[in-house]
Amino acid sequence: MSSLLCFQVLILTLTTTLPIWAYPDGKGSECLGNLLRVSVDGFLIAGELAPAEVYVLNGSDVIGPITPFLAAKCGFSMVSDPWGNTLLYISLQHCYSQSKSDGTFEINLQLRPHGEDSHRVHTVSKSCSYPKWTSREILCSQNYMEVSVEHNLPTSEQLAWMVSGVKDAPPVKSVSAGTRSPFRLQKVIVYAPAQKEVTPVELHKLGYGLYTSPTRLLIRGLHNTSVTHSQDVAGVPMAVMRSSVVYEHRWMLFLVNASAACPTGGVSFTEEMITWRLPRHITPLLSSASSETLEAYMGIEGQRLDEASMVAKGYSLYATDSHIVIEMPIGSPDGYYKSHVHKRDYQTTFTIEPMVELLWRASGGSDETRYKVLYPITTPPVPRPPHVIDYTVPEEGVFTMVLGTFLPDVELTNITIDSAEMTVLEAAANGFDIRQHGFPNGSKAFSLEVPFTHPAVIKEIPNVKTMTYTLDLVFVFLVLPEETVFFHPAVLETSVKDTDLASVTGSCDQRNVYITVKYGNQGPNFETLVGGSLLTGELAQQYSFKENVTHFSLVVPFESPDIAIEGVQSSFVRGRLDVTLQNPERGWNITYFSLACSFLTSVIECSPNGTIQALAVKLEAVPRLDPRQLTLNDPSCGPYYSDDRFAFFYFRVDSCGTTRKFKDDVMVYENKATLKSAQNTMTQLNPSEPVYRFRFFCIYAVNAGKTVAFSTMPQSTTPVAEAGVGELMVHMRLAKDVTYTDFFSDGDYPLVRYLRQPLYFEVALELVKFKDPNVELVIDRCWAALNEDRMSKPRWDVIVDGCPNPKDPDQTIFHPVTPDDRVLFPSLFKRLEVKMFSFAEAEDTPAGQVVFHCDAVICDPSSPLDGLCHGQCANKQMGTNGVKRGPRAVSQLHIEHVSSGLLFLI
């Protein structure tokens, strides 16, 4: 991460360094010619980003605090950087200076923090020597201009010599020792630019300081007052103060010129350079048209720089015919950047305080002028919009970004997501990894890491195989010490190619289609269409919906309308289930799955007794067909049972318009199921659909022979009639209650039952033509198995040898059968009640699955060959009478096997 951040710093190259005057103990002072510079660490004094208050010690008096008005009047100038570090420039000739013969100056200050106790006061005492005064000293500071000149007033001795030759001149009085001149300051003549006279008191009221010493005169004041005016000098605007001070002694007057001019402009900027121009010949201060430059120095914050330092820092100082030129690169280590907010945009300025010091002599003159200017320069604000660098690697699943760079005076305070604002600490507690990174040049940046799984990350699917992650947030920053606020939005977006899409698999058995849907990387972010139906909560419940974090499963019965019937054969129906996963917002398909299965079912059954059962199925090709409207050739023969998908017909071969024809040794019966309208018009109700015509045939052998053996033997017993053997139909059905009036149909299976819930089974023999009340149906054996295979293991007997299994804890109960409209011969019916249970060892089969099987015997109850034909549970009923069951032969009995539908335990 650190190398990436360094790259970001190279983009903006913002530089912040410590000031050149920084001291280890937090404060210091230096004598710089006619100035004293005092440096104070803001945290040392104030403990916050604020300058200290300045007090001056004048003997035993404490004067202060120094206000801006008093500072300009008395020669104090103060500048501070954004961190509260303060530079205090003090003229050696300030108001309260203690001087010795204008050569040594004692300065005593107190620096006090705002609102703090006095024990935190810091005292600065400094003695500065400045013996090399020139004829005129001009000092230009940021808040005042100052001119100090030698007034050259005559001493008492010189004055006595001057008047000695004047007739009638009064004698000069003697003065005390140490007084060099008896002249008194009378008035000041100012030219702004018009000439006017003011008294010293009036000049002081204007904010000017007027001071005189035994050798010098000093005037100090603001740049823009009524006694100053602006003048363009060689293209540089300057504030000019021209004045003359009038001294008098009795009948004599003495005039001293004191003028100053300070630049108020002359700075130009490029993207990389600051250029500062000063007039080479400051004409308002010259008595002639030109001057001779004797010395020229460049400095920073009042400190002269040598040539080597200037070259190392990229500074240059040179002269043209009309200007003294200083060039400084923006970003110099002697300056500093400052943050600003303009119209909520982040901007920066660069500030540096250069100094120029010149020594010149007017052409043709002998007096020298030392000219010193301290001129803080701040570049125009430059927009510095923060740069967002996205280092996100999609495969890692984490947003990684760097935001920067910023100056040290910028703090990240809040983050806004979806109009919810959090502090940095709150964001960190909510899963945002936010870190601040500082750099050697003083700038800093912020990094952020957020996983794709975070709730604030917006997830979208722009196409089937792509997941897009978006993080939209706003950073809130604070600029110190002004506490101005600015914002910066950042939108991170990345896309991940999804190689693990949602998928569908499936399988079939004889009754159901089993579907499994795996979510994939995108999770359950899709809609499921089963056949043509949207998988709602209600439909999911019907289809035994189960789910976990990775997938869900469905069980769709064959009878479901969502299974499309593709074709019909005599022994099976071919159905297809389509499953589509689609994006709910865009509507496109994520995946499509189709599974076709063959479901075993008897579509047509031709019975030897001349009855036909036919199952007409609605096909996918005729979606508008209503099977309930189908009829046979005879329109009066409708379905025995029908719904919106099936029509079941049951009729005799000599009815319902069935046709017959002979072919070779077989006889063929034919009929068909069609719509009534199709029989009349031969067209379907909807011309765009094919005509539905379900044709079915039954073929019977015309000539069939059997070999019968005959032999004569002595008759040992009396002959009896044998039980008839033939193609008889036995059915096993499950009644809905103990009344045995309403039964479940084949379409109702599989059924779901509770543990030990009663199951009411009815086993019946159907005789269509032949109705013999002497024939009896007896149940020989019943058992429960896991599936339709009657030979499968494990199994549990519920009826053994016609009687309830004595080992069964829930004994099977036989219910009596009485005649009614449906039951003409009770001997052909058997009703039993079994309690629902399940196999504990069912490992390879769905838990709770049970199928019941029975062997039924059709016999003559009067036959003595087998006790079973004497009635249901004959061995138990007759055992009390001592009658034992006799042996039986399979050939002597007609045995039919029947099974129930599939039942599930819940």
Is there a contact between 423 and 413 (Cβ–Cβ < 8 Å)?
yes
Parts of the chain with a pLDDT under 70: 1-26, 42-51, 114-119, 156, 158-181, 464, 498-499, 587, 677-689, 702-728, 767-774, 840-847, 860-868, 870-871, 874-894, 906
Using only C-alpha atoms, what is the Rg of the chain?
59
Sign of CA dihedral 281, 286, 291, 295: negative
What is the sign of the dihedral through the CA atoms of 819, 822, 824 and 825?
negative
Quick one: which of 238, 266, 447 has its CA closest to 354? 266
Token couple for 22: 């920084």
CA nearest neighbour of 376 among 281, 470, 267: 267
pLDDT in tens, 735-769: 999 899 999 988 888 888 888 889 999 999 875 54
Q: What is the DSSP letter of 820?
A: -
Can you list the alpha helix ranges (DSSP code H) found in 109-195? 156-163
Report pLDDT digits (tens) over 312-345: 999 999 999 999 999 999 999 999 999 999 988 9
Bridge partner list, 740: none
Place of tokens 């040794």: 665
- Please report, for residues 48, 99, 222, 302, 719, the alpha-carbon distance to residue 34 in angstroms, rounded to integers and kept in the order given: 31, 12, 19, 10, 158
Q: What is the DSSP letter of 201?
A: H
In the prediction, which pLDDT does 577 show? 92
Of residues 342, 273, 355, 585, the one with CA closest to residue 460: 585
Q: Give, for 537, the enclosing helix (H) or strand (E).
A: helix 537-542
Closest CA to 146 of 201, 94, 204, 198: 94
Cβ atoms 325, 261 nearer than 8 A: no
CB 241 within 8 A of CB 219: yes
Residue 278 contacts residue 373 (beta carbons within 8 Å): yes
CA 420 to chain centre: 13
Asked if residues 208 and 218 have their Cβ atoms less than 8 Å apart, the reply is no
How far is it, in rounded angstroms, from Cα 828 to Cα 449?
81
**In contact, 147 and 162? CB cutoff 8 Å:** no
C-alpha to C-alpha distances, 554 to 126, 260, 383, 518, 519, nearest whole angstrom:
94, 99, 61, 12, 14
pTM (two decimals) = 0.57
pLDDT of residue 43: 62
- Cα 448 to Cα 436: distance, rounded to the nearest angstrom: 9
